[in-house]
Structure 1
Amino acid sequence: MINLFKSNVINILVLTIAVVLGNSKTIMAENNLKQLKTTQINQVITGESGGSNDSQGCGFISNTPNYKMNLEQRTDYMRLTVQANGGQPTLLVLGPNAGDRFCVLGDETSGLKPEISGVWESGSYQVYIGDRLGGQHQFTLDISTDN
Structure 2
Amino acid sequence: MSDRGAYGKVSGTMTPDDVVASVCRLADDFKTQRNVSKVDLLCRSGYLESESVSEADIEAYLRLHPELVDVWIRDSQDQRNSTGWWIAEPLDRLLFERLPDDAMRTTYQNFRTERKWTVGNLPETTRRTFDDKCTACAFYVRQRIRDLAELIHRTRPG
Task: Give me the TM-score of the superposition, normalised by structure 2.
Answer: 0.28
Task: Determine which structure has greater relative contact order: mean sequence separation of CA pairs < 8 Å that are 6+ residues apart, divided by chain length.
Answer: 1
Larger radius of gyration: 1
Normalized per residue, which structure has more helix? Answer: 2
Structure number having the greater strand percentage? 1
